[in-house]
Structure 1
Amino acid sequence: MRLNAIVHAPEGAEQKPPLVIAHGLFGSARNWGGVAKRLAYGRRVIALDMRNHGDSPWSDDQSYDGMAEDLDEALALHGGGEADLLGHSMGGKAAMIAALTRRPAGLRRLVIADIAPVGYAHSNLAYVEAMMAVDLGALTRRSEVEPQIAEAVPERSLRAFLLHSLASGPDGLRWKLNLPALRDFMSGMVGFPEVDGTWPGETLFLRGGVSDYADDAGLAAARPLFPAMEVETLAGAGHWLHAEQPEAFAAAVAAFLDR
């Protein structure tokens, strides 16, 4: 599946391998604009809309195998023979599966942002169900949607994030998320598939200091799969470390990719 992409291209010659970015659940390429611009010095940065998100095609399949296949295709399309890959949360798991099972040709370095190759106890199913329950045909403005999901999504910042995936057009409001597919594959997305392979390439696990998504136990599970891995922690950052500390996040990624 060919994913929609927003390409941030530097002025002048490209001196470094391009970087492909895979966002997390409910995200989009647009969410990564600030970080992508910070990293687009001497390299192209390609922010993707993952399947069933943003302006990418929809599919009934939201498995990590399917997403990994998409990333393999995107690296071949945008990599030009050699590329780096950064994935956050859901996108990080998809990036790990792509590296471990598909071994994309030309994949040079891997950055995994605040996620580990393990299953988690939480679920975002309530958010999906809240969005599906909104009768968009009876509404005309995004502001009318927010109070209808407030009970299921009490955090105002999270509601604002979800509403970024609400589009307004001649036919009214519509979600740019394939909510039925996300609902049907939610248990698989919070889990992690069983894999036998390893990826020997240089890998950075970049985690938030106040997040529990990439704790020591999760990173211990990653070491047999990524024997060349290293860990860096952004003090004071949570799971959305790229949004909370964009300068520090971009600096850490650039230092790893540029050395």
Structure 2
Amino acid sequence: MSLTTHVFGPDADDTAHILALHGLTGHGRRWAALAREHLADLRIVAPDLLGHGRSPWTPPWSFDDHLDALAAVVDMYIPPTRRPFVIVGHSFGGALAVRLAHRLGDAVGGLVLLDPAQGLDPPWALEVATDSLANWDYADADHARSTKRDEGWADIPEALLDKEIDEHLIPLANGRMGWRVSAPAAATAWSEMARDAVLPPAGLPTAVVVADRVRPPFVGADFLASCVGVESTRVVHADCGHMVPYLAPELTAALIREMVGGG
């Protein structure tokens, strides 16, 4: 299925391209502030994932279905002359980024994984998914705003939360408000994130950012232990919550630029 894709930055023959993958319940326009304020000279290709934003909501929504759709985005938006390119993925997008790098091989030159969510504890994933579905909608925009603040957005600038409300909150058929996300697709994503973690391809320059204020952590101890000592992989700890692209934009941009420069 064709994904709605947002593109930021110059369209020049020599511009480095970045494929940016948002997290669960997000959308591609979440990368706009980072692109505009920190990476304005790079070409950021940011799709809405399956079941998210303005991309198709119809199933299936598995990892493999996402990878098929993302490979098509790469074919459409990243010309062969701009490869290898860098993939940056946040949370669920980080789990997809690792798997897409395996699928695309030499077309990918580096990975930046921002608090990647994979290998999650299955009972915890079930608990979070069940609670999310039980509290899926809101009475109004103020209710959605306050809930977002309680769910990891407490330190995010008000202007960015305003943009999230304007872009991503929509009226639902039941008269309440909800995010522009398919609830069944979101539940499926929790199941996929409970699969075993996948390591980056051998030798591929990779930065793994761990958000140290997240409890329980999204980045599992076993995955981190497997990354330690791998010459091509760098683990970076960020003193922030899970929304790393918003809470640590300078770090995020610096790591992306390092990858563009060859790791």
| TM-score bracket, shorter-length normalisation | 0.7 to 0.9
Which string of whole-angstrom CA distances, capped at 9 and with x for unpartnered residues, describes residues 49-93 of structure 1? 111011111122221111122222212221111122111110110
Q: Which has the higher contact order (CA 8 A, sep 6+)?
A: 2
CA contact under 8 A between 1:75 and 1:107: conserved in structure 2?
Answer: no
Identity percentage of aligned residues: 21
The count of residues paired between Structure 1 and Structure 2 equals: 243
CA contact under 8 A between 2:19 and 2:88: conserved in structure 1?
Answer: yes
Letter of the structure 2 residue corresponding to residue 130 of structure 1: N
Bigger drift between 84-93 and 215-224 goes to: 215-224
Which string of whole-angstrom CA distances, capped at 9 and with x for unpartnered residues, describes residues 193-215 of structure 1? 57699454222212224343235
Letter of the structure 2 residue corresponding to residue 167 of structure 1: I
* Cα separation, 2, equivalents of 1:202 and 1:158: 30
2:100 is aligned to 98
* Cα separation, 2, equivalents of 1:110 and 1:157: 24
Which string of whole-angstrom CA distances, capped at 9 and with x for unpartnered residues, describes residues 206-225 of structure 1? 2224343235532224579x
**Aligned counterpart for 1:178 among listed residues 137, 162, 182:** 182
1:229 is aligned to 233
CA separation of 1:69 and 1:200: change in aligned 2, threshold 3 A: farther
- 1:103 aligns to what SS in structure 2? helix
Bigger drift between 1-10 and 185-194 goes to: 185-194
Letter of the structure 1 residue corresponding to residue 51 of structure 2: N
- 2:94 aligns to what SS in structure 1? helix
Q: How many angstroms does 1:127 deviate by?
A: 1.7
Q: Is residue 2:86 matched to residue 1:84?
A: yes
CA contact under 8 A between 1:116 and 1:213: conserved in structure 2?
Answer: yes
Q: Is residue 2:117 matched to residue 1:113?
A: no
CA separation of 1:256 and 1:195: change in aligned 2, threshold 3 A: closer
Matches for 1:167-206 after TM superposition, within 5 Å:
167-168=170-171, 175-183=179-187, 185-193=188-196, 198-206=201-209
Letter of the structure 1 residue corresponding to residue 257 of structure 2: A
Q: RMSD of the TM alignment (CA)?
A: 3.5
1:219 is aligned to 224
Which string of whole-angstrom CA distances, capped at 9 and with x for unpartnered residues, describes residues 138-161 of structure 1? x7x534x549x95xx781665969
Letter of the structure 1 residue corresponding to residue 88 of structure 2: L
CA contact under 8 A between 2:52 and 2:180: conserved in structure 1?
Answer: yes
**Aligned counterpart for 1:255 among listed residues 228, 249, 258:** 258
* Cα separation, 2, equivalents of 1:202 and 1:18: 16
Letter of the structure 1 residue corresponding to residue 44 of structure 2: V
CA contact under 8 A between 2:207 and 2:255: conserved in structure 1?
Answer: no
CA contact under 8 A between 2:6 and 2:47: conserved in structure 1?
Answer: yes
CA contact under 8 A between 2:119 and 2:197: conserved in structure 1?
Answer: no
* Cα separation, 2, equivalents of 1:59 and 1:51: 8
Richer in helix (by share): 2
CA contact under 8 A between 2:95 and 2:116: conserved in structure 1?
Answer: yes
Give the TM-score of the pair, scaled to structure 1.
0.77
Q: How many angstroms does 1:14 deviate by?
A: 4.7
1:208 is aligned to 211
Give the TM-score of the pair, scaled to structure 2.
0.76
* Cα separation, 1, equivalents of 2:61 and 2:51: 8
